[in-house]
Amino acid sequence: MAGHVAIIGGTGKMGQWFATYFKEKGYQVVIAGRFPGKTAKTAQILGVGSADSYSEAVKNADIVIVSTPIEATAKIITEISRYMSKGSILFDIASVKKGIITALEKAKESGIRTISVHPLFGPGAKKIRNRRFILIPVGKDTELMQTITKLFEDDGATISIIEDAKTHDKIIAYTLALPHFLNMLLGNLLSKADFESYKFSGTTLALQLMLTESVFNEDPRLYSMIQMSNDQFHKLLVILLESTQKLARIILNNDTEGFYRLFKDTKVYLSRNPSFEDSYDRLYKALEAIEEKTKE
Ligand SMILES: NC(=O)c1ccc[n+]([C@@H]2O[C@H](COP(=O)([O-])OP(=O)(O)OC[C@H]3O[C@@H](n4cnc5c(N)ncnc54)[C@H](OP(=O)(O)O)[C@@H]3O)[C@@H](O)[C@H]2O)c1
């Protein structure tokens, strides 16, 4: 399946990633943005085509990808779907889906085929192999689901299908927004220490700090939206505050029994992961691999 791909927001980090991905697969790629000069410059660097407007980019496209900030995506879907040809495919790649699936459902009424995609990786991913995508159906289009699944699976990616936006946002609240939040909190608490914590890092902090530092190397605009636009995460924040207080009380009250119970109960959940048992070994392997790479 090759053809024409248009990427709205193609000047951005993920837009460029998808432009390169589809170009390397043999598709004719055109990117579009709000500023034609900036778009043309990026297109030249990537070796793809550029369009002066969204409408021009999408009119002959077989696949249109909307890779714009979360808060702008629903409106852009509504705007561009009017210019797309009947039967062509449209998907977004936003990290939070509330409102976006509704926009895709409306867009479908004009005869285009829509689905929602969430790549669970950032632009740093060199290859698609072993990376994960979440797909969310929009209405019943089993064939489109199969087409998009095959497109990415053929390159070695793993696909998970989630039925609706609310479930997606709930899962993402736990798997993306929560780790970001905890890393932000850790980084912020460390920044209040009156010593350089990285100089004293043992194994746990060495690995953890790598995650924390990588979060702070990211784009604060995207990260703020992952926290602020996901109302499922706001529900989780209430649980997080209660759990923090509970654990703090256990510790401050010297409640050893309570501590052991919490440890045991949590371990029961975590040990459902088949690789739980060798997590300690993997931690050291990961550290050694990173140290080796850093030496090179
Ligand atoms: N970065 C990640 O790790 C990652 C991972 C998975 C999914 N995503 C999702 O991918 C999408 C794009 O993320 P990104 O990191 O590539 O963002 P980005 O680098 O900021 O790129 C977004 C592009 O959208 C355009 N844009 C910016 N503000 C806009 C606005 N208000 N209205 C319309 N267009 C606007 C810009 O292009 P012009 O200035 O040329 O118009 C910009 O280059 C987001 O929905 C995000 O949730 C990101």
Q: What is the CATH number of the domain that holds 39?
A: 3.40.50.720
- Which positions ≥6 away from 2 have C-beta within 8 Å? 25, 26, 27
Q: What is the CATH number of the domain that holds 217?
A: 1.10.3660
103: exposed, middle or buried (Cβ count in 10 Å: 0-12, 13-18, 19+): buried
- For ligand 1, atom 3: residue with the closest CA: 122
pLDDT score recorded for residue 292: 81
67 alpha carbon – ligand 1 mean position (Å): 5
141: exposed, middle or buried (Cβ count in 10 Å: 0-12, 13-18, 19+): middle
Instruction: Estimate the crossing angle of helix 220-228 against helix 178-190, to 10 degrees.
Output: 120
85 in the same domain as 183: no
pLDDT score recorded for residue 290: 83
DSSP 150: H
Q: What's the number of domains the chain is made of?
A: 2
Among 162, 182, 200, residue at a domain's last position: 162
pLDDT along the chain (296 residues), means of 10: 91 98 97 98 98 97 98 98 97 97 96 97 93 96 96 97 97 98 98 94 91 96 97 98 98 98 97 94 90 76
Whole-model pTM: value is 0.94
132 in the same domain as 185: no
157 alpha carbon – ligand 1 mean position (Å): 22
184 in the same domain as 60: no
14 alpha carbon – ligand 1 mean position (Å): 7
149 in the same domain as 8: yes
156 in the same domain as 14: yes
pLDDT score recorded for residue 12: 98
Q: What Cα–Cα distance (Å) separates residue 3 from each residue in 27, 29, 151, 257? A: 5, 9, 13, 63
131: left (phi over 0), alpha (psi -120 to 50) or beta: beta
106 in the same domain as 29: yes
211 in the same domain as 145: no
142 in the same domain as 200: no
Sign of torsion over alpha carbons 85, 87, 92, 97:
positive
Q: Are 96 and 49 in contact (CB under 8 A)?
A: no
285 in the same domain as 173: yes
Which of 31, 44, 68 most suits a substitution to test ligand 1, by most atoms within 8 Å of the C-beta?
A: 68
pLDDT score recorded for residue 220: 97
145 in the same domain as 21: yes
177 in the same domain as 36: no
145 in the same domain as 59: yes
* Measured CA angle at 22 (ends 19, 24), to 5 deg: 105
Among 107, 140, 162, residue at a domain's last position: 162
Among 162, 186, 216, residue at a domain's last position: 162
Range of the domain at 257: 167-295
* Measured CA angle at 133 (ends 130, 135), to 5 deg: 150
